[in-house]
Structure 1
Amino acid sequence: MHHISRSFSKAGWRVGFLSAPIGVPHLLGAGGDASERCASSRMGGSRDPDSAVWHFVPFAPLPWGVSPIFARRSYVALAWLSARPGIRRALRGAGLLQPDFACADHFLHEGLLKAADPRISAFRRADNAAGFPGALSDFSQREADFARRSDLTIVTNCNSAQELAEKGVPHTLLVENGLLLDRFRTQRPSPTEYASDGRPVIVFVGAADARLDHGAILRAVSARSHYLWTFIGPFEGEFARRLQGAGALLPGPIPHDRLAGYLQHARVGIVPFSQTNATNLIRQVSSLKVFEYAASGLPIVGTRGCLYPNDLPVPLAICDSEQQFIDAIDRFVVAGRPAPPSIDAFDRYDWPQRLRPLFDWLGPRLDG
């Protein structure tokens, strides 16, 4: 949603971005970015000088992690009711109360839309929330209810549209995932972690969630210790400790303006989703990281199950087993980096292009 917000701003909209709320665990210091997010909440929001997007982190005692009790309908409704005055006060101060358009990407965040009171509300379904560990048995129904209450439901792929149609949400707008291409147009310096190591870099960007095959990843890292396996994102807990113990590099979340350097100087980008667990989650994934790898000139090795573009201008190996996955990485490392495609070949994946169907949908409704 950060990328979409920036693209709306670039198109001339006055934009506010409200992140997922902080809760009591964040106030107690839980989470790698707790102090930064709590500071943003106390400030009442701030405007990014580069994108002109106003950013605010609200406080709401909502479920954080696996919290079944606090994810119940009645509790979530009370949590948003208590948070609404503070959110409306911040939006009013920024001149963003009652906007023309507001979008949330999770049904648990519908309270943000109600607080904003927009002319047009939208639900962007980027993931299957009901499929993640800790989801309650009614999550699927609650998600469909939210979609029906919204003026517009946005999906990122046809599999997601099909599932919503089966739940009684027949009308959706397809807006495929993309990337902010400007961040990949210039060559960035190599990270110091790479330069001081010297091994070929195998890189992953994303979260260590239930969709990844943790066991297969650990076995690959151990089997190919002559590669520098780099996992960029919020990796914490036992899985992170085991990766580090096997010699992997975990730099944590990397700011978007520095991410290109970590990708441009790697050798292979990987998409190591599980082929046995969370299959319904994965079949609805159209991964942003694939576009970022490709725009950096990386060959890509992924597991079968998620959706890959069929016209990427870089080599792509889709694998059916752990051994195929490792063998494909080996082949790409031995072959060396391919000649990078022209960055103009990625224009069709740029977020302003991807968002055209949404802008076209909004235009006549706002003009009227």
Structure 2
Amino acid sequence: MESKEKPLNIMFVSHTYIGGSFVVGSHHLARELLSLGHRVLHLSTSITPIHLLQMKKKSVSDRFKQWININKQDKNDQIIHCVPFSWVPWKLAGRIFQKTGINWFVRCIAFPSVTRMLANHRFTEVDLLLIDQPYFVGIERYIKAKVIVYRPTDNYKDILDDQTVESAEKEIVSRAHGIVATSDPVFQNIQKYKPELPGIVMENGVEFEHFSTAGAEPEELMHIPWPRAIYIGAVDNRLDMEAIKQLAEARKDLSIIVIGPHLPSSSLSTSPNVHMLGAKPYSQLPAFLHHATLALLPMSNHAANAGRSPMKLYEYAAAGLPTVVTATPELLRRTDHFLYFYKDKQEFIAQVNDVLKKLANNEISKSKIIHEARKQSWEAKAEQLLAFGSSLGG
């Protein structure tokens, strides 16, 4: 990598496209690196012919639009974000890769090819290549990169329930110059493939200015009584929905607000004091947080939860919210003072009661919580990432 005075070509090979419902770490890092004066290209998971059958989904149609416009963006003051097209889906390509070491998910990227796309955007040479999508194993062969960093954000084998991912990660690590993991369990899981490889744990951060700024109370909240406990995120098998239901039953005076995509048939919707508001634009999330009393993150016993580095914790904190969260070794390691841990459903209810009591007695300082969140800004994370990349040479 070159000196700080010269803008770098930095490329993300990521799992989540820019512009959708989910704003993930690679998006935040890309934004901050761009603001530091570097050129940034963000490549996310390819669409395939299978996706043509799912065009009614907004996320799929959005990705097709980005693929169609893949060559139409190259402004120095913007992130270049690309969704490629591959003829072969990973479900098939992964099984073939496991047996042959050849990844047709990457080899069959077309219209344009990887090399043509990079040439179109003047990324024929890349100073720092950051890979967090193992499906793209082998793409580094097509990229002239000075430094390659594998940046896993989860224990993918567990979260995706996909055994082929393990083979992909081993191959990526064998070619990488370093590892940046978002939690210690994820780091330990990856480092075992190449123990001598340099690496750091860099937890997910927060867009502090965005989440610390209060907005007007959203209209959807105006009819919901106080106190309010809020959860923002996916409603899937990583969320302990039974714990939320038991809390709703035990504290009928507590309004529980759930923001995030969910099925209409979700079992949570049967509780009268649980308010399922659905997914909201990222721009609106701070307004919901600033009009809540406390935050919740009840995690199920899903294997992937052990390695999670939830961005929402510091987003909650930037809004000054104490958070009741499942105790995991990773979160306990961090010693964040705004987190109130529990181990079982009974303790979950007890901790919520305790936090509400402390808030009523002014025993919890929201300003101190906000101060803790400020230290986890994405700007600081981007600078840490650059420093680590520079230490790897190239």
TM-score, length-scaled by structure 1: 0.84
Instruction: Give the conservation status (yes or no) of the 8 Å contact 2:269–2:276.
Output: yes
Aligned CA distance change for structure 1 residues 40 and 214 (closer, same or farther; 3 Å): same
Aligned mates of 1:185, 1:49 — CA distance in 2: 30
* Count of aligned positions: 357
Tell me the C-alpha RMSD between the 2 structures.
3.1
Q: Tell me what 1:154 maps to.
A: 180
Choose which of 221, 234, 239 in structure 2 pairs with 1:194. Answer: 221
After TM superposition, give the deviation of residue 199 of structure 1 in Å: 4.0
Q: Could you say if the C-alpha distance between residues 277 and 242 of structure 1 is closer, same or farther in structure 2, counting changes exceeding 3 Å?
A: same
Give runs of aligned pairs for residues 270-285 of structure 1, distance below 5 A.
270-274=296-300, 276-278=301-303, 281-285=304-308
Match of 2:208 in 1: 181
| Pairing 1:246–2:271 present | yes
Which residue of 2 is the match for residue 83 of structure 1? 109
What runs of 5+ residues in structure 2 fail to find an aligned partner?
1-25
Contact 2:212 2:286 in 1 (8 A): no
1:22 and 1:224 map into 2 onto residues whose CA distance is 45
Identity across matched positions, percent: 24
Match of 1:266 in 2: 292
1:1-368 equivalent positions in 2, closer than 5 A: 1-28=26-53, 29=55, 31-44=57-70, 52-60=78-86, 63=89, 67=91, 69=92, 71-74=94-97, 77-84=103-110, 86=112, 87-132=114-159, 134-136=161-163, 138-171=164-197, 172-221=199-248, 223-236=250-263, 238=265, 241-247=266-272, 248-274=274-300, 276-278=301-303, 281-308=304-331, 310-312=334-336, 314=338, 316-334=339-357, 335-336=359-360, 338-341=364-367, 343-363=370-390
Q: Please give the alpha-carbon distance, in whole angstroms, between the structure 2 residues aligned to 1:217 and 1:19.
A: 34
Tell me how far 1:112 sits from its aligned partner. 4.7
Distance 1:188 1:43, change over 3 A: same
Partners of 1:84 and 1:146 lie apart in 2 by 22
Structure 1: how far apart are the matches of 2:132 and 2:372? 29
Aligned 8 A contact 2:124 2:143 in 1: yes
Structure 2 length-normalised TM = 0.79
1:177 is matched by which residue type in structure 2? N
For residues 97-144 of structure 1, give each alpha carbon's deviation from its aligned partner in whole angstroms, at most 9, with x where no partner exists: 4322221212112355444443322210111111135312x4334322
Deviations 1:158-214 (A, max 9, x none): 333333333334322332221121213422222221123234332222223443223
Flag the 1:149–1:298 CA change in 2: closer, same or farther, 3 A: same
Deviating more after overlay: 39-48 vs 146-155 = 39-48
Unpaired stretches in structure 1, ≥5 consecutive residues: none
Distance 2:245 2:86 in 1: 36
Distance 2:194 2:392 in 1: 24
Query: 1:23/1:210 Cα in 2 relative to 1: closer, same or farther (>3 Å)?
Result: farther
Q: Do the aligned partners of residues 299 and 170 (structure 1) sit closer, same or farther apart at CA in structure 2, a change above 3 Å counting?
A: same
Contact 1:41 1:58 in 2 (8 A): yes
Deviations 1:45-102 (A, max 9, x none): 66699972122222235657xx5x4531439712221115524444333333432222
Q: Is the 8 A contact 2:134 2:168 kept in 1?
A: yes
Instruction: Look up the equivalent residue of 1:160 and give its one-letter code.
Output: V
Distance 2:248 2:294 in 1: 14
| Distance change >3 Å, CA 118–CA 166, structure 1 → 2 | closer
Checking the alignment, whether the CA contact within 8 Å between 1:347 and 1:353 is kept in structure 2 is: no
Q: CA deviation at 1:272?
A: 1.1
Letter matched to residue 144 of structure 1: K
SS at match of 1:125: coil
